Amino acid sequence: MYSLQELWLDENDIYEIQQNSFAQLGNLEILSLEDNALTEIPTNIFLGLNSLLELDLSDNSIDTLSDGGFLGLSNLTYLWMDNNELVSITNGSLHGLYGLEELWLQDNYIDSIELGSWMDLGNLKILALYDNELESIGKDTFKYLSQLEELKMADNMISEIENNSFLHLESLIYLSLHDNMMNNLTYGILNGLFKLEKFYCDENEIEYLDPLSFSDFDSIIKIDIDWNDFGNLPVELFKGLSTIDELQLDGCGITTILDGTFSDVVNITFIEMDDNEIEIIEEFMFKGLFRLEKLYLHENSIHTIMENSFADQGELQELLLYDNYLKTLSEYIFDPIHHPKDLYEFDIKWNDFQCDSR
């Protein structure tokens, strides 16, 4: 058994692991205990598994991680503990996991993370905490995770995030706060996220957006803040975001776009602003967005589109204007010389167009 490299014990009724159960499996690289009846991880239970790279404990009933439960697994790279009954991550419960790169803790009941819990996880790249019961994030919650690249916290109950809470995450490129209970996004919350590429904060309850919320987003590619309640955008919100490619703003109660709001997002290719309350498309709204390929403005209250409103959109491929209140449409909404040559979808159905039969 000492030469065994993979051991799959899925879908049994294992409810306890006794001490020294794996003592003779020093070459084991993969151990799967998925879908059993385990309720705890006792101290030192995995001693002897010095070569283990992957450990799957998902779909059990684990509610307790004893201090030192993973000691001896210094080479472990992937750890799955999703769909268990964990309620907290305690300082000491993850000690010894120096080589861990991915930790999957989604679909538990985690409502607290003790300071220092990630102390030995300096090499962690992906941390999944979605579908838990977290309500707040403190400024040192993610201390020691300087190599983390992806942080998934969707579908919690987060309503409060302290300023500088992500300051330790200097390598982060993906952050999801989708479907939480945040009601404001103030300056300081997202400080230090200079390498962030994708930010999801959709389906929250955000009523206030600080104009400097995204000021540290030097590398951002996508921002999704749709289905919130903030209304009109601060004109400085996207200042300096020249790297952004996609912006999702649908369902936010926007009534107008102030002059200069999009002036710095010069490389953007996709803007989604459907399901808002916009009434007029002004000539300046999308000025300078020469690379824009997709623009979704359907299901607003648009009744007027000014001439030359899309004059700079020579690369436009999709323009959705359906389900608005348009009665007429000028032939000069596009630049007559640089008319979009690749426009393959121009959807204006379900408006109030009046036909002149004379």
- Domains of the chain listed by start with CATH number: 1-128 (3.80.10.10), 231-358 (3.80.10.10)
In one-letter notation, the amino acid at residue 111 is: D
pLDDT at 358: 47
Question: In this predicted model, what pLDDT tens digit does every residue of 241-252 receive, in sequence order?
Answer: 999 999 999 999
Residue 185's beta-bridge partner residues? 209
CA distances from 317 to 92, 113, 274, 334, 336 (A): 54, 46, 17, 13, 16
pLDDT at 342: 86
pLDDT at 131: 98
- Percent of the chain as helix, strand, coil, to the nearest 5: 0, 20, 80
pLDDT at 99: 98
Taking only Cα atoms into account, the Rg of the chain, rounded to an integer number of angstroms, comes to 26
The whole-angstrom separation of Cα 95 and Cα 329 is 65
More confident residue, 357 or 179: 179
pLDDT at 336: 65
- Mean pLDDT over 299-303 rounds to 98
In this model, does residue 337 exceed pLDDT 90? no
The whole-angstrom separation of Cα 182 and Cα 228 is 9
The whole-model pTM stands at 0.96
- Mean pLDDT over 293-316 rounds to 95
Do the strands 102-104 and 88-89 form a parallel or antiparallel pair, or are they unpaired?
Answer: unpaired
Q: Which two tokens stand for residue 150?
A: 């992806």
Question: In this predicted model, what pLDDT tens digit does every residue of 260-271 receive, in sequence order?
Answer: 999 999 999 999
Q: Which two tokens stand for residue 292?
A: 């824009």
- Mean pLDDT over 134-146 rounds to 97
The whole-angstrom separation of Cα 188 and Cα 161 is 10
CA angle 50/54/58 to nearest 5° reads 125
- Mean pLDDT over 218-240 rounds to 97
Q: Which two tokens stand for residue 77?
A: 């790279």
In one-letter notation, the amino acid at residue 115 is: L
The whole-angstrom separation of Cα 199 and Cα 275 is 21
Question: In this predicted model, what pLDDT tens digit does every residue of 92-109 receive, in sequence order?
Answer: 999 999 999 999 999 999
- Mean pLDDT over 4-9 rounds to 97
Q: Identify the residue whose tokens are 């103030």.
A: 186
CA distances from 107 to 40, 82, 204, 355 (A): 17, 6, 19, 55
- Mean pLDDT over 277-288 rounds to 95
Do the strands 318-320 and 30-32 form a parallel or antiparallel pair, or are they unpaired?
Answer: unpaired
Q: Could you give the count of Cα atoms lying within 13 Å of 243 in the half-sphere of its Cβ? A: 15
Task: Find the range with the poorest average confidence among 218-227, 272-281, 326-335.
Answer: 326-335
Buried b (16+ CB within 10 A) or exposed e, 76-100: bbbbbbbbbebebbbebbbbbbebb
Q: Could you give the count of Cα atoms lying within 13 Å of 340 in the half-sphere of its Cβ? A: 26
Task: Find the range with the poorest average confidence among 173-177, 247-251, 340-344.
Answer: 340-344
The whole-angstrom separation of Cα 14 and Cα 8 is 12
CA angle 246/251/254 to nearest 5° reads 90
- Mean pLDDT over 209-217 rounds to 97
Comparing CA positions, the residue from 163, 158, 161, 165 lying closest to residue 179 is 158
pLDDT at 56: 98
Residue 73: burial class (beta carbons within 10 Å; 0-12, 13-18, 19+):
buried
Q: Which two tokens stand for residue 21?
A: 């159960």
CA distances from 315 to 76, 191, 289, 346 (A): 48, 34, 9, 13
- Mean pLDDT over 201-229 rounds to 97
